[in-house]
Chains A and B, each alone.
Chain A
Amino acid sequence: MTSQLCHIERIIGDRAEPGLAHRLHHLAHEGRVETVTVAVADLPRRRFRAVTDQGTECAIALPRDTRLFDGAVLLLEDDRAIVVKVGEQEWLKLRPAEGFALELGYLAGNLHWRVRFADGHLLVAVDVPRERYLARIEEHLAAGRVTLVDG
């Protein structure tokens, strides 16, 4: 099993770089560009196993100062390439009622949620099933102190 592993120890570059893009374009025409999908929450990982969309098992061990990104080229051979695709990040968009923003911010920090702010809304990164986030603010949703926007 180990002998079939594709060992990857560096990022060759960004698929958008002209030199790489040209070679990848040709390989893609022949269906030889494989994709490894990495969840946003897993991007900081330096060592992990992954399987490409074409079934190649990869053993990825990157230098500590390297960070994965969407479009990172991990392998580029004459007849094959492997490129990273970052999974989409889902966000919960929450609107606090007037006077409740501070408390909602405190709650999110206390629960160690990853958040962003936009137009008076709190965006919470969905790293575990969304029901688990909603369960934590159930009372506030019911009382109208927080509103879930867009679903």
Chain B
Amino acid sequence: MSAQQTSGAGATEPRHGMRLLAMWLVISAIADPLFWFLAGPHMPPGDMTTTASGAQSDFNVLMMAALPVTLGVWLYYGYAAVMWRASRGGSDLIGGPKARSNLRVQAAWIGTTTVVVLAAFVYGTVELVVPAGAGGGEGPQPIWTPTSKTILPIQVIAQQWKFSYRYPTYGGFETDQLMIPNDTTVAFHVTSLDVIHEFWAYQLEVKADANPGTDNVAFTTTKVLGNVTVRCSELCGIWHGAMFNFGHVVSKSQFQAWATTSEAKLAPVTKLLPAFSWSYTPDANGAAGGYYPDNADKYNKIETYGADKVSVADTKIKSS
């Protein structure tokens, strides 16, 4: 915004550039703290996980730059609309080479926007890489992984039009209840059985496309107990709008109890399911409803991403 101040001022003319600069500084000085302290702490998606609070602060930081830019440009247009109307009279001779370009202004503008953009890029990259993908889908072989000692893999299976979840470290049982232990790093392995869906766990700040035949991994670490809304955010057919369910972040002991009980209770069902795999291929006679595990030998190893343990308790890795 510094670009506006440079044009000179006539003898009788007010110093428009200085005025604009002063007004801009004042409104920025008001708007930024107002947003940061009043709205900032309440911005979505909250602070239930590390990635959620990370996204919240990223949003707020971007807002600190966006508000002055937006308000500055609007201020300029508003000021022009008020001050520089034809009805206010004045000389008609406002053209000529000086009105056509101004090297200093142009250079300042280009320089400023370039610096802001590059700063946004560096900040965004750091905030992407350090929190291990910031909760976004990182494909089958994530290169930015969490550093925690324990990691819990949860498989998210999307299909028209529901989400279900398999817990590979608990015998691979499948359920439509999403239970997540608190204070735990979770690796969501998102895949689809039919079309492209998207797993959006709003409060967890996890979002990953569910592609058929692909294991799309996203990480987060839970911090607060609470409920989670899961919605499909990639158009997947007529019931897309109704494809949602709810999850819960519970304490570790509650989770452990729920998981072991479910594992035992569902064991007869689990036996009938396709062997656990990171993705599944529909039976060639799709109408029959069968699914083959994809490349079961290649993928049956549970990736630990450097962690010592792959579940909450000291459960040993059970490969199917």
Tell me, yes or no, whether A binds B.
no
Which residues does A use to contact B, with CB under 8 Å? none
Which residues does B use to contact A, with CB under 8 Å? none
